Structure 1
């Protein structure tokens, strides 16, 4: 099962598995071997007999077999063809064989299939893009129980004012409820990774908040560029002003609005921030409601971020 980004890209295989498979550092492969951790992850996902489960990075199938025993179907996405062969061999000729569907390739480059629940030991180098691929997937899934590098998991659940609170925190929590489930030490893997891990449960907000996500993402990108600086300072950057002015002129053009002579995008933004009592706020202390209010203040004045 893929795990933990290697410090240096290398083609060297760093350990031979008991199954005779050499783990590939290119994919950061660290197999979860502790059956108690696997059992706990499956239990916390509350898989139903009618569920289709998505597993990303099944590796040699330790978790897959447990999921197959509980679910109606398991769709396993694996990039390493050697591990695909190992997984197929493991279920071949058993009563579980007909329940398993294997998708070979890079999960970030493929359309996700329909699924009710996702359970996975996530390759750390794809953690962030994969979280948002899952959260923007439709139709909605019920929940995901995912293992991440511990600091990444802590960022997912961090609240405004916390040391690790960042754009990842606020963007994820806009779209989902995120809960920390358990810590997993490095000795639960073969070979042991250099970092500790944690398991989180992600439950998409259904229905989602009534905002355009690309707008929200654009706003938080600007605000968190300098999360310890005031918003007044963040929005004075030349590149930010240029982008917002371009979007504003497009908005005016599409809505047949005239731009007054002597118009200054810098002054307009300063006025919006002042009227919203946001000029002196800092991204690191702003919660979801603060960002929603600010986005509404900008949008109502024709300022857009996507």
Structure 2
């Protein structure tokens, strides 16, 4: 049993007003169902908030996702959930973090940096190829985020690490 607004965030779907990182992260790892509303008059003394009962059923096995990268991606996307992904990924601190992680990846694999390297162009190119540059996090579902994370990893080797995000 949770406070109603928290429970609504857990079960929120893309496009809902309460859809947020909590929603997408919970739904990545579990099947979430709202079972019932519990009115405050069912308690003595009555609390100031309404409650709801939610069922969380963990997915078994959990999805094969690097959770550090997943969390980094959702942090960037939901930083301003009403901004487009293109705008979210153009923020200087985000570009700097992605560039740092990309250069680290190249150095660990003894690969040279391309002479005309431009991280912002690389990221926007991926978003455009996926036709996601104008999408907003509030309207993206689990599959959209999975597709984006896979594209960053496979096409650009951009590793999103939440520990290096200082937004």
**Could you tell me the TM-score, scaled by structure 2's length?**
0.92
SS in 2 for 1:267: helix
Residue 191 of structure 1, CA deviation: 3.4
For 1:227 and 1:275, locate their aligned partners in 2 and report how far apart those are by CA, in whole Å: 21
For 1:302 and 1:149, locate their aligned partners in 2 and report how far apart those are by CA, in whole Å: 41
Would you say 1:295 and 2:141 are equivalent positions? no
For 2:24 and 2:125, locate their aligned partners in 1 and report how far apart those are by CA, in whole Å: 25
For 2:59 and 2:148, locate their aligned partners in 1 and report how far apart those are by CA, in whole Å: 21
Task: Give the counterpart of 1:216 among 46, 70, 77.
Answer: 70
Unaligned runs of 5+ in 2: 162-167
- Per-residue CA shift, 1:142-201, capped at 9, x if unaligned? xxxxx1110010010011111111111111001000000111112233432211111100
Would you say 1:263 and 2:114 are equivalent positions? no
1:193 aligned residue: 47
Task: Give the counterpart of 2:99 among 245, 251, 256.
Answer: 245
For 1:168 and 1:290, locate their aligned partners in 2 and report how far apart those are by CA, in whole Å: 16
1:132-171 aligned within 5 A: 147-171=1-25
* Structure 1 or 2: more strand by fraction: 1
Would you say 1:233 and 2:96 are equivalent positions? no
1:32 aligned residue: none
Which structure ranks higher in relative contact order (CA pairs < 8 Å, sequence separation ≥ 6)? 2
RMSD: 1.1
For 1:257 and 1:281, locate their aligned partners in 2 and report how far apart those are by CA, in whole Å: 32
Task: Give the counterpart of 2:134 among 277, 280, 285.
Answer: 280
Task: Give the counterpart of 1:304 among 148, 153, 159.
Answer: 159
For 1:278 and 1:244, locate their aligned partners in 2 and report how far apart those are by CA, in whole Å: 18
Unaligned runs of 5+ in 1: 1-146
Q: Please, which moves more after superposition, 287-296 or 179-188? A: 179-188
Residue 239 of structure 1, CA deviation: 1.1
For 2:40 and 2:21, locate their aligned partners in 1 and report how far apart those are by CA, in whole Å: 27
**Could you tell me the TM-score, scaled by structure 1's length?**
0.51
1:102-141 aligned within 5 A: none
Residue 260 of structure 1, CA deviation: 1.7
- Per-residue CA shift, 1:23-62, capped at 9, x if unaligned? xxxxxxxxxxxxxxxxxxxxxxxxxxxxxxxxxxxxxxxx
- Per-residue CA shift, 1:199-254, capped at 9, x if unaligned? 10000000111111111111011001111111000000111111111111111111
For 2:100 and 2:44, locate their aligned partners in 1 and report how far apart those are by CA, in whole Å: 52
For 2:48 and 2:99, locate their aligned partners in 1 and report how far apart those are by CA, in whole Å: 46
